[in-house]
Chains A and B, each alone.
Chain A
């Protein structure tokens, strides 16, 4: 039940429930995507995936991740916990009803906070960058295959051998935009209800008109999902980059349930206000009352209704 409710889309995992009957006390129920267990033929080491802690890209706290045996792919581990649940494993009962789930994650998300922190001004070799005393396992990210796409968010500097990179925000936003749009597409494909307000009957057919709204809502929701892997300030930048209005973003804030984002969200607005007031001072041409944004009175609305079905008058006359 819980799994179905999660607003996440992933390839259906091959169910290989690992149960270790010898030590039932320290066993978990773990849903794992098959490829994490598969070994390439050249590989000769111990063949189990490793569970490690790394810095979470959103919170900066420790979080559990899973490395495949050859380190080439990273998966994040999610725990679903329901208080009143136990598992039956063969002949025994396991009282810990937690369900561990792992899904592949793009390692670039994990590298991004390091890049943003250390490589904005100068390029740094990747192996130095990913040395985190608190989380020594971070180095293993170097071997993950996804990291070859690091040029999507950073510029390579110097020799190829040096493997040094400098953070590039423009590239990053473009890359995140693509990610977000892909998530939005999937949300749409799977017909996931994303408009925040209230429940909607599953057989409610939306009028075709609301499609553009819909697109925005999907994008906004997708942004919320992607933001779970981004630092808050970057998430806000992405929101701007996607050209989604900020004020109606409670949905995302709710998803993220972090109080600090609320304050952050206000900051750029204040800046905007300041900017507009200063530019007004500098504007020497007739600084008198600016034309107000057109507010629609009831009269205007009635007229707009009466106007429907008529061509625009400007289509008859040439602009001079």
Chain B
């Protein structure tokens, strides 16, 4: 028997909105530690890794490890039926082929439940090694989304280069070039608005705009985003989900073509 209750269903809805742009379907692995999801996009260039801790839920029970393959479009339809401040409860039997979502309104006067069919997805799990990153950038997630959106107009790929002066995002294309430089700022009153750079050595990597744009769909989850970069290692874009866990996106860097 699996049961997970979350008073704030909108958090789960935001997670779903963040990943359904990249993934069409995914397996949710439930264990007593919580819910994990790991999946690659259809082009196998990026990896989505979601971790929701069990103690972040208002009620969590998982007697037996369970993998639930879900179509995220269908899951999106289910959550569209929920109200903004509903409480959600996820339920599934052991070895079940369906999962039930129950939504309760705040005043407990309306209860709706939806049962969704599960899918058999054969997905390979990738072991993600611990990496010593050359630089770790923390910045406001809205700012990151804005920069990526702006620069997407100029080219298909964005170069993120980080030096001790700051971090520079640049793109070039047919109409011209665009550059955005951010310096470190500390805002002690509003921690979430500061830009911090933890630099071991300078690094510059190129990434596909479209993927970065998809990652920024997670912006509503968190005020801050953490970018971790290292030469020849995928970029990690991490959004903390308050009290519940984190959502990480891994993106393989583009192979430099400039020399050719």
Contacting residues, chain A, for B255 (C-beta < 8 A):
309-311
Contacting residues, chain B, for A290 (C-beta < 8 A):
119-120
Contacting residues, chain A, for B238 (C-beta < 8 A):
none
Contacting residues, chain A, for B25 (C-beta < 8 A):
291
CB of B210 within 8 A of CB of A302, answer: yes
Compute how far the CA of A239 lies from the CA of B257 in the bound complex, rounded to whole angstroms.
43
B231-252 at interface with A (beta carbon < 8 Å) = 233-234, 250-252
Compute how far the CA of A83 lies from the CA of B203 in the bound complex, rounded to whole angstroms.
80
Residue in chain B with minimal CB distance to A312 = B44
B50 within 8 A of partner (CB)? no
Known: A291-B119, A294-B42, A319-B125. A306 touches B156 (CB 8 A): yes
Compute how far the CA of A58 lies from the CA of B157 in the bound complex, rounded to whole angstroms.
59
Interface string of A221-235 (1 = CB under 8 A from B): 000000000000000
Compute how far the CA of A289 lies from the CA of B46 in the bound complex, rounded to whole angstroms.
26
Interface string of A292-320 (1 = CB under 8 A from B): 00101000101110110111111111111
Say which residue of B44, B69, B214 sits within 8 Å of A314 (CB atoms). Answer: B44
B174 within 8 A of partner (CB)? no
CB distance from B134 to the nearest CB of A (A): 15
Q: Determine which residue in A290, A302, A311 has the highest number of CB atoms from chain B within 10 A of its CB, and name it.
A: A311
Contacting residues, chain A, for B18 (C-beta < 8 A):
none
B121 within 8 A of partner (CB)? yes
Contacting residues, chain B, for A318 (C-beta < 8 A):
126-127, 129
Residue in chain A with minimal CB distance to B95 = A286
Contacting residues, chain B, for A307 (C-beta < 8 A):
41, 43-45, 208, 211
Contacting residues, chain A, for B257 (C-beta < 8 A):
309
Interface string of A196-212 (1 = CB under 8 A from B): 00000000000000000
Contacting residues, chain A, for B127 (C-beta < 8 A):
317-320
Interface size band for B:
35 or more
A41 within 8 A of partner (CB)? no
Say which residue of B24, B47, B125, B207 sits within 8 Å of A313 (CB atoms). Answer: B47
Contacting residues, chain A, for B44 (C-beta < 8 A):
307, 312-314
Q: Determine which residue in A286, A296, A312, A316 has the highest number of CB atoms from chain B within 10 A of its CB, and name it.
A: A316
Tell me the total A-B contact number using a CB cutoff of 8 A.
104
Compute how far the CA of A303 lies from the CA of B210 in the bound complex, rounded to whole angstroms.
7
B75 within 8 A of partner (CB)? no
CB of A313 within 8 A of CB of B129, answer: no
Contacting residues, chain A, for B210 (C-beta < 8 A):
302-303, 306
B117 within 8 A of partner (CB)? yes
CB distance from B26 to the nearest CB of A (A): 12
Contacting residues, chain B, for A300 (C-beta < 8 A):
24, 42-43
A288 within 8 A of partner (CB)? yes
B128 within 8 A of partner (CB)? yes
- In the complex, besides A288-B120, A291-B69, A315-B252, 10 extra interface pairs with C-beta distance below 8 angstroms are A286-B97, A290-B119, A302-B210, A304-B43, A306-B208, A306-B209, A307-B44, A311-B252, A313-B45, A319-B124
Question: Can you sample 12 A-B contacts with CB below 8 Å?
Answer: A285-B120, A290-B120, A291-B25, A291-B120, A294-B24, A303-B22, A307-B45, A310-B45, A313-B252, A316-B250, A317-B127, A320-B127
